[in-house]
Amino acid sequence: MKNQHIPVITLDGPSASGKGTIARLISQTLGFHYLDSGALYRLVALAAMKCGVDAGDAPRVIDIARCLNASFTDVSTLLDGKDVSDEVRAEACGEYASKIAQYPVLREVLLERQRDFRKLPGLVTDGRDMGSVVFPDATLKIYLTASEEERAHRRHKQLMQKGINANIAELVQALRERDERDSNRAASPLQQCADTRLLDTTGLDIDQVVSRVLAMYANH
């Protein structure tokens, strides 16, 4: 794999496990680049939704992915030059992204784009298959998880901060269904590989998790 000398830290795990927040903070602390792999799928989802394309229409979804005009800054996610950071975090967009992520061809289309983020001095990335498929030679692989209840409360807090009403019980059910879909899909399923370190963040605050990840990297 190209650029093997460039360090990569991967944080994989289920939805709402906090991996995006942690990955961004780790990248800032180390001065590394950051890749939110899920945002790429959410951007495809958002673009398809804006075009009125059904998630079951794989050929059209894949065509949209091939022409996707997406970019990232330290604080923003851009689609066609427009800041869509809030739109891609909406639950409907996440559900759509989880469905289309099952398409093998779509994953192939986005694979090289993800690997292109591997640049000096290093990369921190989060997703579902970063350590297992996209960067199998990563310097440090972490599987970040938490209980369903804690993940649902975190997602609820995020949504309420954005003024979006949500029901905890419905969020638990949605997370459970997404976990099952992500874990059982044929293409690049969510999984903890043998060379991946497990980090359960239930009961831990953000600073505690960041400290543990940094300690893992320092002692890798």
Say how many C-beta atoms besides its own lie within 10 A of residue 172's C-beta. Answer: 18
Pairing of strands 123-127, 140-145: unpaired
Tell me the pLDDT band of 74, cut-offs 50, 70 and 90. low
Can you tell me the distance from the alpha carbon of 29 to that of 27, in angstroms, rounded to the nearest whole number? 5
Query: Going by C-beta distance under 8 Å and a sequence separation of 6 or more, which residues neighbour residue 15?
Result: 94, 98, 151, 155, 175, 178, 179, 182
* pTM of the model as a whole: 0.81
Tell me the pLDDT band of 6, cut-offs 50, 70 and 90. very high
For residue 89, what pLDDT is reported? 85
DSSP one-letter code for 3: T
Can you tell me the distance from the alpha carbon of 43 to that of 49, in angstroms, rounded to the nearest whole number? 10
SS3 content of the chain, % helix, strand, coil (to 5): 50, 15, 35
Can you tell me the distance from the alpha carbon of 168 to that of 212, in angstroms, rounded to the nearest whole number? 28
Domains of the chain in start order, with CATH, are 8-218 (3.40.50.300)
Tell me the pLDDT band of 102, cut-offs 50, 70 and 90. confident
